[in-house]
Amino acid sequence: MPRVAAIDCGTNSIRLLVADVTVREDGTSWLRDVHREMRVVRLGEGVDATGVLAPQALKRTRDALADYTAILRRKGAERVRMVATSATRDAGNRDEFFAMTREVLGVEAEVITGDEEARLSFTGAVGDLDPDDGPFVVVDVGGGSTEVVVGTWDGARADVTAARSVDIGCVRITERCLTTPDGAPPSREQVTEAENLAESILADAFAAVDTSGARTWVGVAGTVTTLSAVAQGLDEYDPEQVHLSRLPQEQLKSTVDGLLSKTHDERAAIGSIHPGRVDVIGGGGVVVRVLGDLLAKSAGIAEMVVSEHDILDGIALSLA
């Protein structure tokens, strides 16, 4: 039972999972969490406009990674894998990021392709689901990219049939379309622009991934889990209440509409929204709402199943 550490460094957040991996006789594996943590560092702040990682974003990430390194060493992790996704794929100064991670963590961070990101997300997402509810379409809405993956799960192994990653996420869409002075709600015109942008970019994913045969939509990552917590009216974020919750399309739409109508301070007063997501949750909600509309048309799916398990779990399982 090796103890492993997985680190997922995305555009908006950096997350750590330390877990014990049990490998069954048939070669399949399952995880027992030892430590799980998330911090919003906004590594991708401004990268869509400037093409480089900002010095302050690199410092925030370095500080969080130093803390994570201390934790995983204290917990006795034997194997470590760090995956970096959208922001670092796009940055002109990515070498600075790699030098920092080598110095702090002692291992090389991997910049994976969007398709590999999608496959790891699928593997992590479906483990707690009933195989009879498949085929599944797993959607991972990050800060800078969104992955759409279709596949099946037989209770032991995931089989991915198609996957595509596209460059739209809560940070990108907010910076492009939804910035406002003094934290005011975005205008109707801004929201329409964001919806059109999301639909045009997501169309590439749906052209590459046939979702028509999918029976269950699984949403993962911070935007989706936060929307579930808000929709449930939770006073504070509770992963046990969020994991495997179901969010019907109409409730999803009303939740996103409500967030878009609020000021920054009004969103900040919602206890279930992490402070680092307050300014981008509306944009992320637009992406998820457009995804819901597209899946309703292509597969007739009427609700989203929300999973707390995602690419972080997939990274850990890859170390078995």
CATH number, domain with residue 160: 3.30.420.150
Query: Do 19 and 137 belong together in one domain?
Result: no
Residue 15: pLDDT band by 50, 70, 90 thresholds? Answer: very high
Pair 255, 157 in one domain: yes
Number of structural domains (the chain) is: 2
Using an 8 Å Cβ cutoff, are 151 and 122 in contact?
A: yes
Round the average pLDDT of the chain to a whole number and report it.
Answer: 91
Cα–Cα distance list, 246 to 56, 71, 242, 302, 313 (Å)? 37, 33, 9, 10, 21
Domain that includes residue 55, residue range: 3-114
Q: What mean pLDDT do residues 281-295 have?
A: 96
* Cα–Cα distance for residue pair 107/315, rounded to 1 Å: 15
Does any domain span residue 120? no
C-alpha span between 165 and 107 (Å, rounded): 26
pLDDT at res. 223: 94
* pLDDT value of position 117: 77
- Is residue 310 pLDDT above 90, yes or no? no
pLDDT at 142 over 90: no
> What is the Cα gyration radius of the chain?
18
User: pLDDT value at position 226?
Assistant: 97
Q: How many residues does the chain have?
A: 320
- Residue at a domain's end among 114, 148, 175: 114
Burial bucket for residue 78 (CB in 10 Å: 0-12, 13-18, 19+): exposed
Residue 119 lies in a domain: no
Report residue 191's pLDDT band, with 50, 70 and 90 as the boundaries.
very high
